[in-house]
Structure 1
Amino acid sequence: MTTFLSRLETLREHAAAVVAEGIRDGELGSASHAEIAELLAAAGGVGRWVDAALIEIVGEAQARSEGPRDDRLTTHLGCHDVSELVQRAALVGPQTATRLRRAASAVRPRESRLTGETLDPLLPALRSAVLGGMVGLDGVLAVAEPLQAMGSRVGREAVLTADALLAAEARGEGPEGAPPACPDLLRVQAQVWSVALDQDGAELRERATMHRRSLRLGSPTAFGVPVRGMLMPEVAAQLERIFDSLLSPRGRVAFGGGAPDGAGCNGAAAEDEGAWSDDSVPPLDERTRPQRQHDALATVLTVAASSGALPMVGGAAPTLVVTVRAEDLARDRGYAHVDGCEEPVSLAAARHAGCSGVIQRVTLSREGRVVAIGTEERVFNRHQRRALAARDGGCLIPGCGVPAAWCEIHHVEEHARGGRTHTDNGVLLCWFHHRFLDRHGWLIRMVDGVPQVRAPGWNDASGRWRRVTRSATRLKDAVLRR
């Protein structure tokens, strides 16, 4: 056993004892806020030393796995390649194995293929920071990838200068006297150096980006359709802007306070003036950021399809066709089917499509013959949409903030049950609140053509019905009436 291996085994045993004792003794629960931060820093420091060891060992394994196949380390150990060896021995995933190999290629000494002599690593200053325990795997890649992308277009001296300055920033020895930089900050600085030094690389990067751009829809599963791909930077930035515009909190309204309940029109509860406040805490949104981004993308697709600016498909705008048996819809049991998707969807999806789109009834005989085709029914026209935008101002659910132009129109009383396609029966809802209206607890009713909402119990235990709007004009009127 080598001394290095012996010491690593000792370190592993000591680390196991330290971690086990610290957790068993409950020290984390009694630690102060400052001590929690110190514990994170200490554990991160240990992790960087472990990263240094892994990078060195993986680099050595790569060096021994070149040349004739029979002489390779991986062949002797029964592995196809270094990645498989790293995954099996270190018990890491394939992504981590690949990242360790990339890091090793940047900071490990190289061997000349012509002379066999040992050459300096590509980034010697970064290597020193790694061996000094100041830079871990994330930091290495944050610096190495932008600098290595420049290739031979930038002179070696310029690369070494950037390497030295970035390593100093990682150690906390930069010219500004800032503390040690985290990987995200190192990545930003390395990208700035790359752009400054590699003026001719923009076109090459553009070619590589264009070549790798992709968006793939995977095979449908019982839980949805997976998406994967690579967006061009400006496309991703545009999508991020759209996400920010739809997901940023604004126009927040919360229920609470106000006058006691009273009789309103048709026996409805009186309006609570406290509902007009827009500076209180918004209702909780339990969606994760990825879920909210999914819903924002669904909104974008709906708006784009209904904009009239997309090419026609089959003589009409791109239309999502959802079919369902009338009997299943009436019983509220069974499945619906989306044209182009193998997996069935819920009846809630069918109701959502029917509420925001149009319904065409097709009658089939028992043998499957088409015996009757109804006309398309009940879509709100552009004049009605403008009127609803003036009345509601955006998504009717308090705290949502999605503007009117991005909303769908919901039939408060379903059209299939006699509800009219009239402004007295329509309200603006964003895609999320429309699609899951029957699940998130908000109730909507119309009183003399004015929508009222009742919040779920966790948001307002009083159970009051209240008028809500985001229309600036209506809000101003409400203020002036006070």
Structure 2
Amino acid sequence: MEQLICQLELYFLGPAGVFEKFSELLILKEKVARIETELAVGRSVAELQDVGLDLSYARILERRASYRWDEDVGVAHQDSILSPLEKLTHPGRRDEIYAKGVEVAKKSSPQVTRRYVRKLVGEDNATRAGDDGGAHKRRFRLSRPDEDGGCYFNGYLPRPVAALFAALLAEAFNSTAHDGDQRSMDQRQADALAEVIKWASAKRQSTTGHCSLVVRVTETDEMSWQSKLSTNVGIDLTLFEVGYLSGDSITDYIVVVDEHGAVKHLGTGARSANFLQRIALFARDECCVYPGCDAPIAWCDVHHVIPWSQGGQTSIDNLAPLCRHHHRKVDDTWDKAHVEFLNGVPWWVDARLPQSS
């Protein structure tokens, strides 16, 4: 064996000890990978470990040996296809997704192939099991301090939370950058996370919130609960997830573009009234708009007269203060008790009583 290794080193490295036949070495690598896979057929991970393989590589070989390997697919692409395929909830489309991955592998890098197959697997899992944005897999674990006093952490975030987290990290990453930065990328990301934690602990307030999450909508999009909207952080969100993120401390922007990509409209997606809007409501209404109720603005919810879910904007001419008790009485269908505007002022309308004038 040692003699064979020496011959191979001499052949590929040459007398000077540098690569002379690198392309042939890559071909040999592919052949060795296929031989290893053939030897692994019918063997368990434990059996592969018994012959000297570490656990991670034993699992890779067992996965390769359990599924077909097309002749025109390289080992790196094969692993990039099979790894996400393991996450397929229902194996019915396994062969179809593998075939699509092979087509992409012929003209792209292993990284692109992996992302493409992962996308197909995610779409199929969502269609068959109901799309909850990965909420069923949510978890977070913070370790005890190690010998240096720091902690490791890992977990899984549902899609809407991951989008918000990515947007927060992006802003913190840029805000902590400086000239002559000698930090590694991992260190910069860790410092960005520390900055986000500082924001939260200090209850940071600003007119724009902690971050901006931009949602892109095309005029021709057919909206449904399954529709996915692209964002500036690379995480697609459903309409429900966009609504979930709306709040006082987040400013979301919705950009509407035409079929050619030209921007037609830019609007805010913030659902809750901000501080200045609450001041305006106090100046106009002073208290809850329910007849006879004098609950102060500070105790009131800000009600959307045209519901947010039906396209109502968070603007003064669509907002009315209601105490929590009377807010619960509102019927958003307007068939029963509700609020309407008359001459720019919100009025409580009871279906059983004539409207105030």
Return the structure number with greater strand share.
Answer: 2
Who wins on radius of gyration, i.e. which is larger? 1
- Of Structure 1 and Structure 2, which has the larger fraction of its residues in helix? 1
Range into which the TM-score falls when normalised by the shorter chain: 0.3 to 0.5
Normalization by structure 1: what TM-score? 0.36
